[in-house]
Amino acid sequence: MTADDVCRIKKAYAVVSNYTENSTGIFFGHTVNLLSDDLSAGRLNTQIGTDMQKNIRAAAVQMISSTNPDANIDTMKRLVRQAAEQGADWVLLPEYWPLMGRKDTDKLAFAEPLVGSNFSETRYARFGETRYARFGETRCARFQTALSETAAECGVVLFGGTIPLESPDAGKVMNTMLVYDRDGTQIGLYHKMHLFGFSGLGERYAEADTISAGGDVPKLTADGVPLAAGVCYDLRFPEFFRAQQPFDVLLLPAAFTYTTGKAHWELLLRARAVENQCYVIASAQGGEHESGRRTFGHSMIIDPWGEILAVLPEGEGIVISDLDAARLQSVRTRLPALKHRLL
């Protein structure tokens, strides 16, 4: 197999989740023979004749979003380009990347209709209602347009943090993560389900005042890899992610407050990685915002053993790391906790 062959198949692999010694399985659509000595040597033996260890290069973007959506779009595009220049296959954006308003109600003015992959069909996904965009309506979908165009320009799978979408509930928005393929096609979405509420230490947050809760547990894939997804406060509910099993990678855009983030952010992320024996990619807001709110940052990528592979404490930037398929398989084989579940 030539180096060109390796490049062509680099993005076409997944990890066999049900391993038995000297077994055959499906690995990103290819037949794979898994031998005990291959695993002990840290490699996978496939019928296409290559040892594939570094499977997906993933990046998490960290922002300090402002009250100016145009400036935030420019920052998003610049950071995604930076990640792509460093070889990222997947890029995750933070929650609320288009706008961190002075007031929670500011986002209502920027809510967009959900536009289908052909930019003509729109859907209130929570209720399964479909309608068709009126002529010129997509002019009001600038966040979705920016995400689609950036994914296509950079040739990455772009997990679009969250943007405000129209809600059927008056005075509220859906807080939604959209996923775009390398050609700019929308391939997935998730409306945030668990809505943050906190009161204490001079702070008060009540997302339910301005956000409608989603009603569907996400079921996402990218490049044939089964994924779990959550947004910010979802991180505190382990049963939410168990409901998405099986998956190999968990993606979490967030805007954790400094208070709660300092206490729990890393702890919860590493716990989700360990208990699900998966990679975790977490993208955060990280700094002082015009509203006076301070977000915790610490965007990071974590491996299935709970080790932090890359982290950015505060400020604008990216973290990037390779998600190693052999590492994932090794953890799940040596400690088959997922197979030992009883409930």
What residues are annotated to the active site?
Answer: 95, 192, 232
Token output for 198: 């906190």
Asked if residues 213 and 235 have their Cβ atoms less than 8 Å apart, the reply is no
Handedness of CA 254, 258, 264, 270 (dihedral sign): positive
> Residue 266 burial (CB < 10 Å; 0-12/13-18/19+)?
middle
Q: Which residues contact 321 (CB under 8 A, 6 or more apart)?
A: 57, 58, 301, 309, 310
Q: What is the 3-state secondary structure (H, E, C) of 160-198?
A: CCCEEEECCCCCCEEEEEEEECCCCCEEEEEECCCCCEE
Give the three-state DSSP class for 8: helix
Asked if residues 115 and 122 have their Cβ atoms less than 8 Å apart, the reply is yes
- 124 forms beta bridges with 129
Q: Which residues contact 124 (CB under 8 A, 6 or more apart)?
A: 114, 166, 167, 168
Token output for 87: 């070889």
Q: Which residues contact 146 (CB under 8 A, 6 or more apart)?
A: 73, 76, 77
